[in-house]
A and B are shown apart, each in its own frame.
Chain A
Amino acid sequence: MLRKTFFLVVLSSFTFAKEKTSFRSAPATENGVPVAPKVFYEKNPAGLTSDISVIVMSGSMEDPIDKIGLSNLVAEMILRGTKKRGRERFQGELERMGGALSASVSMDTIQFSGSVIKENNKKFIALLEEALLQPAFSEKDFLELKREILNDIVHVKNSNNRLGGLAARREIFKGSPLEKPGFGSKSTVEKITLADVQRRYNDFFDRPKIIFAAAAPFSENEMVQEFSRIWRQFPDGNKPVKRLVNLKVPEKPTLIVVDKPKTSTGSLFFAQPGITIQDPDRYTLSTGNFSFGGEPLVSRLFRIVRGELGWTYAIGSSYSALGGLSGQQGLFTISSTPSVEYTSKTIFKILEMWRSYMNEGLSSDELELAKESLINSYPFEFDTAAKRVSHKLTSFLYNIPILTPEEYSEKIGEISNRKLKAALTEKQKVNRWLIALVADKDVVAKDLEEYQKDVPQDERLTISKIYTPDELVN
């Protein structure tokens, strides 16, 4: 079944916001009175569903390092029944009315996103209210959920792409709650108790941290009333605290291998520090990346490594590898899955192309292509009510403006190659790459040696660390 998550606050690096209504096709409002909840709403007159999100401004960054995954467990437990209705009854009623509700955790939010056929809007909100305010937190459900999450974590070993990301996290965010994904690892989830879950809920689910977002075919007043009733029942509390983590990156290209015997492709994941959503160079770097590796089919990486050399099916680069830009400095990544005999060649080709990009920026054709494409595709940022709400939410969470098409066009239009090179020099590094490669370690070692046979020993790229998949999920 198709599931959609509404108003995710993990926008691409091309999505920015400033509060203006002139280009919206539906009325939009924010209610910012201190005694009332923050509500971001778009009336969607033709909509057949109500799409509702409740956002708690506190995420996995608050998890203790030995209990990463706690926020995720809290979020999931809230959907597992209430004091009035056990899990089965709660889920049964929700699904019978044509509703679906899911939870997701980012580094700075816990988000409950739901959708229901419009006729059952009120019933759905009443159930959501009950879940948020009177979660059952039953021991039986907790143990069952933990087992399910642990099974999911172990299953990540099946995904070579995800293993590369896990290895890079371990190195770059070492010692912080970001060293593992928001769902945690085997060892951290095993340590979490039901008391931890209850404590986390009591400490963070309060009025200053809770906001609402919705797109529905009902009047704004009607929806705000519903949300206000829920919001008023939460206790007082403190404003969310913003926590940031420093990144640890190697001084020169450093290769770590996740050993997966007998793969016929290697899964490559280059990582170095990226940017925050508030970074003044964000538009410039995103525009540059569009033509370097961000846009499939037309980017330099795609055209050359796939189109001309035929070494790989997939290759691209991104500033959103951690799920989107946020207040935390993220990663800039290049990923690819070359056929195994091209793995070394691909690594060195990427390094060479990166050096060239850092030194020269883009050609005038590439830069113009990126600018024209970004400006022309901007309407897609606002083509549905859900996307418009998402922009408002991001604008509020990270204190960034929503740009009108004219403002956006002007902003992108003024980017020059000189400006791009300056931003690259300031924000990116030529050599400070952590390269995670998921492949057969013996094949990689042999291939690297063969490829670098004419390179002096001390200048060679060698495997600096080997992980097993088990280590990465533990």
Chain B
Amino acid sequence: MNKKFIFVSAIVLLFQTTSLFSANYEKIGEKKLFNGEILSEYKLSNGLKVLFLPRHEAKVLTFQTWFDIGSLDEKMDAKLKKTGLAHLFEHMMFRGTDQYPDGKFDELTSRMGSEKQNATTFFYRTNYYESIPSNQLNKLLELESDRMANLKLDAALLDKEKGAVVGELRRALDNPGRLAWDELNRTVFEVAPFRYTVLGTEEEIKGFTLEEAQYFYKTFYAPNNATIIIVGDTEEEELMKFIVKYYGDMKAQEVPRYKMPEEPVQKRERRVEKTHPQATSDILLVGYRIPSVNSPDVVPLSLLSTHLSTGMEARLRKSLVDKGIAVSAGCEVSSVPDYLEFAVSLAEKHRAEEALEVINREVSNLKTQVIKKEDFERALNQELLSLYNMIEDNSSMANMLGDYLMVSGNYMRGFEIIDEFKKIKPIDLKTAANKYLKKDSRSVVIVRPQPKKSSRS
């Protein structure tokens, strides 16, 4: 669930938006991507948004549905005030409708040859996805629209699914890295619901009722709260014909929007230490609050994180992994929650404090020195390579569009940022470091192994 924005280099040509009215939908945009591909955007009269990128190299396509609902919303919802339901509900979306009872969705999508079929839930969104042979599009849309509109929530199935979700939660809790990340969110945010985990607690999961699940479904799974993304082998006319056929009759509804509680200004460093029975060495996480992905300051911060953590020549690798202090060391821009996160897995017999000292030194260097031109070039070209590799794959391309849409409201933001990369200079990284990487506004989490019991009692 932890994510990084991969800020990409692209020349985005924004074409004049065209409006092509049809019976039930409107083409509201067409954009030419830097690689020449054309991305189209549509909106149905019920508010459902559709993004379509045709690709014909192979007779396959990726289909994704993104809902603008995640664990943050349920915590802020007056009727729920808990977390874990958005995720548990994501599981329930595979549990059947009247027309296609439990197991049928999986069976039929499997029969059509689907690949990478799954779903994920995060703080700010839930997505469902699969890739299919393109001649199966009609049937897939029938199934996907059916579960979006006609899910049958059953108490017995809800109970069974709770068992699987508790298993998922426990597996996560057995992972010391997961504890560290949860602690970082709890430490960085004093009031915002990022401090509550997406999976919820075991007690919350076991306590969800059928009524709460029904309320959640009826409230948030509305066409005007969803975006469909298709990348692959189909044609606009056929696609939109099917979309209108299967989604056109859904009714728009009022979806509640919640105002995120304002975080108090952090005035001093926060530090938390925990132990974990499965940890065999220290884990260190450091989070610096940064602005949202729409801020121009995120551009130099992103390049700064690449400079620190991408490749064999990355600063953190050289000063921590190569020196034998750590097994891995990374730095990434996280958005929603917005922070620059350092993550270090220490080598056995090394302490988190050693890594923190190195991070302090690297941050200090970034604040006092302008990075060399060749290091800047390295970071920029590594971002380009990453983007080029990513967009080649249909699913990854759809993921990138969907994720940027959900965090920034602008699915083109990833491509825009790359243009902005080309406009900044090495000194902008120094400026951003001085503005945001302040010791007083950071949070430090250390997870250590539990002390070994003495053989003497």
Chain A's closest residue to B380 (CB) is: A98
Within 8 Å CB of B54, what residues of A? Answer: none
Contact assessment for A151 and B313 in the assembled complex, using a CB-CB cutoff below 8 Å: no
Stretch in B41-49, B287-295, B386-394 with 4+ CB within 8 Å of A: B386-394
How many inter-chain residue pairs (CB < 8 Å) link A and B? 195
Write out, one digit per residue, whether chain B residues 288-325 have a CB within 8 A of any chain A CB (1) or not (0).
00000000000000000010001111000000011010
Question: Does B155 reach chain A (CB closer than 8 Å)?
Answer: no
List the A side residues contacting B306 at CB < 8 Å: 1
| Stretch among A52-60, A372-380, A454-462 lining the B interface | A372-380
Using an 8 Å CB-CB cutoff, how does the interface string of A357-395 with B read, 1 for contact, 0 for none?
000000000000100111111111011100000000000
Interface residues of B in 71-85 (CB under 8 A from A): none
Assembly CA distance A257 to B392 (angstroms): 43
Say whether B190 faces chain A, with CB atoms less than 8 Å apart.
no
State how many angstroms separate the Cβ of B187 from the closest Cβ of chain A. Answer: 22
Given known A369-B110, A377-B113, contact A338–B167 (CB-CB < 8 A)? yes
A85 CB, nearest partner CB in chain B, Å: 13
B167 touches A313 (CB 8 A): yes
When the two chains form the complex, which single residue of A47, A95, A155, A340 contacts B281, counting CB atoms closer than 8 Å? Answer: A155
> In the complex the two chains form, is A151's CB within 8 Å of B133's CB?
no
B57 located at the interface, meaning its Cβ lies under 8 Å from any Cβ of chain A in the complex: yes
* Segment of A222-230, A233-241, A262-270 engaged in the interface with chain B: A262-270
Given A2-B389, A377-B115, A263-B278 contact (CB < 8 Å): yes
A48 touches B392 (CB 8 A): yes
* A308-B156 Cα distance, complex, nearest whole Å: 10
Q: A312 to B167, Cβ gap below 8 A?
A: yes
**B278 contacts A297, C-beta separation under 8 Å:** no
- B310 → chain A closest CB, angstroms: 5
Docked Cα-Cα span, A151 to B281, in Å, equals: 11
B61 to chain A, nearest CB (A): 10
A46 interface residue per 8 A CB criterion = yes
B269-282: contact bitstring with A at CB < 8 Å (1 yes, 0 no)? 00000000111110
Complex CA–CA separation, A91 to B131 (angstroms): 36
Contact of A160 among B4, B166, B278, B279 (CB under 8 A): B278
Query: CB-defined interface of A300-325 with B at 8 Å, one 1/0 digit per residue?
Result: 00010011111111100000000000
Q: How far is the CA of A14 from the CA of B94 in the complex (A)?
A: 25
Q: Quick one: which of A99, A263, A264, A310 contacts B162, CB cutoff 8 A?
A: A310
* 430-453 of chain A: CB within 8 A of chain B: none
User: Any chain A CB within 8 A of the CB of B13?
Assistant: no
Tell which of B169-177, B246-254, B420-428 binds the partner: B169-177
B160 touches A310 (CB 8 A): yes
A13 on the interface (CB 8 Å rule)? no
- Known A-B contacts A1-B310, A297-B117, A378-B113; the reply to A115 vs B160 at CB < 8 A is no
Residues of A within 8 A of B166 (CB): 310, 339
Q: How far is the CA of A73 from the CA of B106 in the complex (A)?
A: 44
Are A116 and B385 neighbours in the complex by a CB distance under 8 Å?
A: yes
Neighbouring B residues of A338 by C-beta, 8 Å: 167
Most buried by A among B6, B348, B385: B385
Given contacts A96-B378, A160-B174, are A261 and B277 in contact (CB under 8 A)?
A: yes
For residue B318, which residue of chain A has the nearest CB?
A88
Residues of B within 8 A of A308 (CB): 160
Question: A residues 408-440 with Cβ under 8 Å of B?
Answer: none
The residue in B167, B348, B378 that gathers the most chain A C-beta atoms within 10 A of its C-beta is B167
Chain A CB within 8 A of B163 CB: yes
Bound-state Cα–Cα, A216 to B198, Å: 41
Query: What are some 17 contacts across the A-B interface (CB < 8 A)?
Result: A1-B4, A3-B389, A48-B391, A95-B378, A96-B374, A117-B381, A160-B174, A260-B278, A297-B94, A303-B103, A307-B103, A372-B113, A373-B112, A376-B111, A377-B114, A377-B115, A384-B57
Q: Which 5 A-B pairs have the closest CB atoms?
A: A310-B163, A376-B113, A98-B381, A383-B58, A377-B113
Contacts from A to B (Cβ < 8 Å):
1-4, 25, 46-49, 79, 88, 91-92, 95-100, 115-117, 144, 147-148, 151-152, 154-155, 157-158, 160, 260-265, 295-298, 303, 306-314, 337-340, 369, 372-380, 382-384, 469
